[in-house]
Amino acid sequence: MRSRKTIFEESREGRRAYTLPSLDVPAASPDAVLPPGLIRREAPELPEVSEPDIARHFVNLSVLNHHVDRDLYPLGSCTMKYNPKVGEDVANLRGFSELHPLLPEGLVQGALRLTYELGRTLCEITGMDDVTMVPAAGAHGELTGMLLVRAYHEDRGSRRTKVLIPDSSHGTNPASVEIAGYEAVEIRSDSRGRIDADSLKSHLSEDVAAIMVTNPNTLGLFETEICKIAGLVHDAGGLVYMDGANMNALLGISRPGDFGIDIAHLNLHKTFSTPHGGGGPGSGPLVVKEELTPYLPVPVVGREGDTYRFVYDTPKSIGRIHTFYGNFSVLIKAYCYVLMCGAHGLREAAESAIINANYLLSKLRDGFMVPYDGVCKHEFVLSGKDKLKAGVRTADIAKRLMDYGFHPPTVYFPLIVEEALMIEPTETESRETLDRFAEALGRINAEIEADPEKVKGAPYSTPVRRVDEAMAARKIDVAE
Amino acid sequence: MVYIPRTEQEKTEMLRVIGVKTFDDLLADVPEDLRLERELDLPPPLSEFEAKTALRNLASMSLDPDEWTCFLGGGAYDHYIPSIVDHISSRSEFYTAYTPYQPEVSQGTLQSIFEFQSLITRLTGMDISNASLYDGGTAIAEAVLMANAVNGRKHVIVSGCINPLRLAVLEAYLGSSGFKISVTGREGGATDPEEVRSLAGEDTCCVVLENPNFFGVVENGKPIGDIAQTSGALFIVSVDPISLGLLKPPSEYGADVVVGEGQSLGNSLSFGGACLGFIATRSQHIRRLPGRIVGRTVDADGNRCFCLTLQTREQHIRRERATSNICTNQALLALRATVYLCWLGKHGIAEVANLCLSKTVYAHRQLLDAGFSPRFTGPFFKEFTIKMPVDAATVVERLAGQRIAPGIPLGRFYENETETLLIAFTEKRTKAEIDELVLALKNAAGKGRGGS
């Protein structure tokens, strides 16, 4: 493939795409109204291109992407499900998209009501009492949650310093804990890939502010002792936080509020079908039990009869964690999804996600090591460890999958599985797609036996061949 | 469920392949007392038509954008969004992709982020930029955390003229980690360098300035940057990117880190989100920069291509020692900003900035001619403050009947600014709309304190 030009290389002096409204007031000369030292003297070197240039450039870039509308995107813990098109349409309704965030509340009742109702819906789904819709992503929800934990303990005059995190957790968990000023203490998973309640006891003390669990965990396994774990942490005066990234497995099946969770974030861009946008925007609402309500970030959306308003008079609040109210445009899409699913549809989504994962696992069990076998929930983890003897790493398998038209699963995560392949098919994939994927992995398995070099040289049919990521880190070139 | 491609028969067959009889067998590891024995208490499912109608009804409960003229700014601006932006960002190749972890099948996202980073560096005058942050407020907070990682200090000096909402975000982020935050006064509507000098010392981590500031005043950054430099602190400048078509890039007055809100670059207001935070800095700080960074490299055939780079700074590799906890960012908004900045180009960015300036200067003159007095007197770009003879929130209410949202009453942020109105003008506001605003404000103000 020939290298693609950057938009800067396509720039030609004198070309332009913009048209702007005519100047209908007297022209103000910057030199006349601004101190000379504050004025830009050299125009920024933005590209000079026409609109057709822009259309070609970005459309040609777009087709280089793998994406959900094209084929399976089985990234574990990312829940790359289909994104209903209607969500895009309703988010673009001008009564939402053209609302300024600082308009008087009386002029934004629709937006407030949507935020309020989606929040109540999330409380029902999770069995929790209250919610903030502000966090802009899962990790933002985690940080907010940890700030709530801190506020809760400080309000009780207790200074705790540690947060317990299983070794299978998402990387954002310990990072969020650190930013909130806590020490992250790793606890080891047991031979079943779960937290062992008895061994947890040795970690508990008056220093422990909270435990951060993921349920189902990143191995796709339900934490069977979750109630006991929560009880032990509560007895020690700590709180239980749940990373809700994997909530897709639990919709209508089991509720965090019913198994001892005090705080949980949800990922609307995973469980509630809003698109990932190539890395965002997401949305990470936080649901809490009522004892955490006083600390929620401002503003909270409240309701009085048929009127909705922002509530700021919460003196114990952790304050503001987003300039405005979070990623409202994402809330619209999630709300539309929930309206169309109803209780039955949500339960069916979770059931089908679990069926799809178990079906795929049963198809792959013969060809790959399954370090923690048994029924899984929405995802499962394989190990490519036994392929190392042929010189093939999991990274090679991932790259070879691209030649069969698939996006690879999450690889080398969770960290507790060597050569991990973490697979989450989601409920929106058909049986035929799962069969094709299993067949591709089966053929790669055969290739590892017969011609490992072929696998190690993959991919061959992608827009670019294997990318030298080491060189990118060595010779830093991050702007043109 | 229409988004689940499976018939009952297929479900039965799949369960058979799995080797179980019923779905419940797959819940073997979920203790029975934790299983929800009832359906969730939610309204019955709607058809697409019904859902769309429900959402339309909600949208219509707020103001009708066709009928209202909006002069609100304060960190979110009603600039024109060209059609090409929506058309590119609504390609499912972009919006249904994930974070580009696998570069061989993500070159579209990766190259567009590389171009975004490049555009931000060109606009701000800095060397490097990341792939985006949540919004302008969290970008300031991340910049301060980054400054702390660079020099280990914990005293943060913040201009009292920065957006109070962003200041609140900074306080919430830093509140639990032993930082000391000194906020300067805002009496003159601009940051007083002497006050910064009196606060700065060997323990100063960074100085945070916003330019133009919350009151619309264009700050003179140079003396403040010099003070930061003298005390070995980092100088963090938060900017409105549109202003950089006209105003000196912060790199020229000593900025070490430039952050800002990129909503104004081709992104809709959307009630304040999704927004677009950006952060740019000098090359030497690249390993302290939060979030994703895309770098250029080559593939196995030697062809130029792109990938996420320096991931060892990030949470998924470094966990508790990461530079930030950010994972999902605002990628699609960054793509829209990229397309928008290409659409404007080198000359369009100056032209749109000049249009804003001319409209704002015109409006200012008209308001002064009508007898209003400015609250602050510093130079401004696309936003300024006016002192109303009555409570500004009352004025806002009075103008509702004429379908004019005249600005932001600052009493909601500052106790002693109840009569101050912050008014913004983008290139979309016409002379006729401005004249109507001036007349309406004059009438509303003339009614005095009593009437309404």
Round to whole Å and give the CA distance between B174 and B176: 6
Domain shared by A307 and A358, yes or no:
no
Query: A-B interface: how many C-beta pairs under 8 angstroms?
Result: 709
State how many domains chain A has: 3
- Given a cut of 80, whether residue A1 has pLDDT beyond it is no
**Is the Cβ of B92 closer than 8 Å to some Cβ of chain A?**
yes
Q: Which of residues 179-208 of B touch A (CB under 8 A)?
A: none
Q: Which residues of A touch B341 (CB under 8 A)?
A: 46
Asked if B91 lies within 8 A of A253 by C-beta distance, the reply is no
What pLDDT sits at residue B447? 65
Round to whole Å and give the CA distance between A439 and A443: 6
Average pLDDT taken over every residue of chain B? 96
Residue A74 lies in a domain: no
Task: Specify the residue for token string 């991050």.
Answer: A478
- In order, the DSSP letters of A17-86 are --------SPPPPHHHHS-GGGB--S--------HHHHHHHHHHHHTTB--TTTS---BTTT------HH
Round to whole Å and give the CA distance between B345 and B241: 13
Q: Which of B92, B309, B341 sits opposite A67 (nearest CB)?
A: B92
- Closest Cα in chain A, distance from residue B231 (Å): 24
What pLDDT sits at residue A199? 85
Round to whole Å and give the CA distance between B294 and B131: 7
Residue A360 lies in a domain: yes
- Closest Cα in chain A, distance from residue B184 (Å): 20
Give tens-digit pLDDT for A227-261: 999 999 999 999 999 999 999 999 999 999 999 99
Token output for A309: 């308003």
Domain shared by A400 and A455, yes or no:
yes
Give tens-digit pLDDT for A347-358: 999 999 999 999
Domain shared by A196 and A328, yes or no:
yes
- Lowest average pLDDT, out of A249-258, B21-30, B315-324, goes to B315-324
Phi then psi dihedrals of residue A209, to 5 deg: -80, -35
- Given a cut of 80, whether residue B450 has pLDDT beyond it is no
Query: Which among A78, A123, A88 has a CA at the least distance from the CA of A333?
Result: A88
Q: Which residues of A touch B320 (CB under 8 A)?
A: 174-175, 177-178, 184
Q: Which of B93, B121, B345 sits opposite A67 (nearest CB)?
A: B93
- For chain A, the residue count is 480
Round to whole Å and give the CA distance between A329 and A333: 7
The whole-number average pLDDT for the span B308-337 is 89
The whole-number average pLDDT for the span A288-296 is 98
Are A343 and B40 within 8 A, CB to CB?
yes
- Given a cut of 70, whether residue A3 has pLDDT beyond it is no
Closest A-chain CA to B52: A90
Asked if A340 lies within 8 A of B117 by C-beta distance, the reply is no
Q: Which domains does chain B have, with CATH numbers?
A: 69-74+345-446 (3.90.1150.10), 83-340 (3.40.640.10)
CATH code of the domain in which A449 resides: 3.90.1150.10
CATH code of the domain in which A163 resides: 3.40.640.10
Domain shared by A308 and A435, yes or no:
no
Domain shared by A180 and A203, yes or no:
yes
Give the domain range for residue A52: 1-64
Domain shared by A260 and A169, yes or no:
yes
- Closest Cα in chain A, distance from residue B44 (Å): 5
The whole-number average pLDDT for the span A318-331 is 98
Asked if B319 lies within 8 A of A363 by C-beta distance, the reply is no
Domain shared by A248 and A334, yes or no:
yes
Q: Decide the pairing of beta strands A208-214 and A183-187.
A: unpaired
- Closest Cα in chain B, distance from residue A95 (Å): 4
Q: Which of B45, B163, B332 sits opposite A277 (nearest CB)?
A: B332
Q: From A301, A322, A340, give the residue that closes a domain.
A: A340
Give tens-digit pLDDT for A423-471: 999 999 999 999 999 999 999 999 999 999 999 999 999 999 999 999 9
Q: Which residues of A touch B127 (CB under 8 A)?
A: 479
Q: Which of A3, A5, A12, A25 to mutate to test the interface with B (most CBs of B within 10 A)?
A: A25
Q: Which residues of B touch A38 (CB under 8 A)?
A: 218, 220, 247-248, 379
